[in-house]
């Protein structure tokens, strides 16, 4: 719900951003309409690529292929899938070439990344966005894949998917979401699973409301550290009226504070309609004395915005994870911690 307080904050923030942040330009941001990729069908070819960290265990590829085949898909390996250049899965030009080739290949209907790590930001200037927009198809991953998901959406308007990678735990929860969103084209209400103890109390996967209310907007986000590393580049979307979701893993609390501060100083937070922090997995302070808690840091940055916001959605480096479509219209409820899709993510 948009309050007068929030409107005032946004007005003041817009003045400050216009005065102090002229370099955070909208150059390169997409003004195109949203593009929905075709849904998956049994027998479709799914391309496997490795655009970030190197895969040191070849059997990981076999497991990923067998997983996708169990979903009724055929697979095609990227030419440089098992390359290695230090900690990267090959040279930048080669990893980018695999992405471009998969989008250009008419036989490939979806592209799944094998793993995350680091390296996708290095590829953004090398991608053929015109070809991608002319050949829309499903692209899915998470963690470092965040930069590909956001950049491709920003540059082309193509809906992308923050979801499992090839080496993820493909359990019943994860597979059901993939099937319903990517194959069936369902318009889902995403809410945390209820796992109650003998007294009927939910102790796992609880949500913590930061600011109650409901809001609508297009859903965009991903890994916090990857997103902040893109700030100031031409590969981010227009944030006005967006619903931002973020997640993180193995970061000290002061680093979460630093990254949220960066989003604030860049003028991103003040433009949002809503905010979702998924899971901050193994995020602990390395300080033995005097640290802020994660809850305090989030409240410091998000509560003053006056927008619906919560922590604890099933998004992140976890086994039971939502498949979250970037670029679709949603309605969120921060009291119940739910994401209601307002449209299908695939055609």
Catalytic residue among 97, 143, 147, 313: 143
Q: What is the set of domains in the chain, with CATH numbers?
A: 4-29+189-341 (3.50.30.60), 45-183 (3.40.50.10740)
CA 337, CA 35: separation in Å to the nearest integer?
Answer: 27
For 269-309, what is each residue's pLDDT tens digit?
999 999 999 999 999 876 656 789 999 999 999 999 999 99
Per the CB < 8 A criterion, the answer to whether 204 and 195 are in contact is yes
CA 155, CA 271: separation in Å to the nearest integer?
Answer: 19
Catalytic residue among 101, 147, 247, 248: 247
**80 is a catalytic site residue:** no
Question: How crowded is residue 59: how many other Cβ atoms within 10 Å of its Cβ?
Answer: 8
Nearest one of 69, 66, 74, 128 to 97, comparing CA atoms: 128
Can you give the pLDDT at residue 5?
A: 41
For 99-140, what is each residue's pLDDT tens digit?
999 999 999 999 999 999 999 999 999 999 999 999 999 999
Residue 102 C-beta-side C-alpha neighbours within 13 Å:
30
**247 is a catalytic site residue:** yes
Mean pLDDT of all residues belonging to the chain? 91
Is beta strand 324-326 parallel, antiparallel or unpaired with respect to 309-311? unpaired
Q: What is the pTM assigned to this prediction? A: 0.90
The model's confidence at residue 66, banded by pLDDT at 50, 70 and 90, is very high
**295 is a catalytic site residue:** no
Q: Is 220 left (phi over 0), alpha (psi -120 to 50) or beta?
A: beta
pLDDT at 319 over 70: yes
């Amino acid at each position: 719900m948009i309050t007068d307080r929030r409107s005032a904050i946004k007005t003041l923030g817009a003045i400050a951003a216009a005065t102090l942040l002229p370099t955070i330009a909208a150059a390169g941001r997409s003004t195109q309409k949203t593009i929905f990729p075709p849904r998956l069908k049994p027998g479709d070819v799914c391309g496997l690529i490795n655009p970030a960290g190197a895969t040191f265990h070849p059997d990981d590829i076999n497991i990923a292929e067998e997983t996708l085949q169990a979903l009724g898909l055929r697979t095609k390996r990227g030419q440089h899938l098992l390359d290695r250049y230090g900690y990267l899965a090959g040279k930048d030009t080669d990893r980018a070439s695999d992405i471009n080739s998969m989008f250009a290949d008419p036989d490939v209907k979806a592209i799944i990344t094998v793993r995350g790590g680091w390296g996708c930001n290095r590829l953004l200037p090398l991608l053929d966005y015109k070809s991608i927009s002319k050949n829309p198809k499903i692209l899915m991953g998470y963690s470092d894949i965040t930069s590909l998901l956001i950049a491709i959406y920003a540059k082309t308007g193509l809906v992308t998917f923050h979801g499992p990678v090839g080496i993820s735990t493909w359990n019943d929860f994860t597979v059901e979401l993939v099937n319903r969103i990517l194959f069936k084209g369902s318009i889902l209400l995403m809410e945390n699973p209820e796992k109650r103890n003998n007294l009927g109390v939910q102790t796992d996967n609880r949500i913590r409301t930061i600011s109650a209310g409901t809001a609508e907007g297009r859903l965009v986000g991903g890994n916090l550290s990857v997103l902040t590393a893109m700030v100031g580049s031409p590969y981010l979307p227009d944030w006005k009226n967006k619903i931002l979701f973020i997640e993180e893993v193995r970061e000290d609390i002061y680093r979460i504070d630093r990254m949220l501060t960066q989003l604030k100083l860049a003028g991103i937070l003040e433009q949002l309609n809503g905010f979702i922090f998924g899971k901050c997995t193994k995020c602990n302070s390395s300080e033995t004395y005097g640290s802020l808690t994660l809850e305090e840091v989030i409240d410091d940055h998000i509560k003053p915005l006056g927008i619906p916001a919560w922590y604890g959605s099933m998004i992140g480096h976890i086994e039971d994870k939502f498949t979250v479509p970037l670029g679709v219209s949603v309605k969120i409820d921060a009291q119940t911690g739910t994401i209601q899709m307002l449209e299908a993510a695939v055609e």
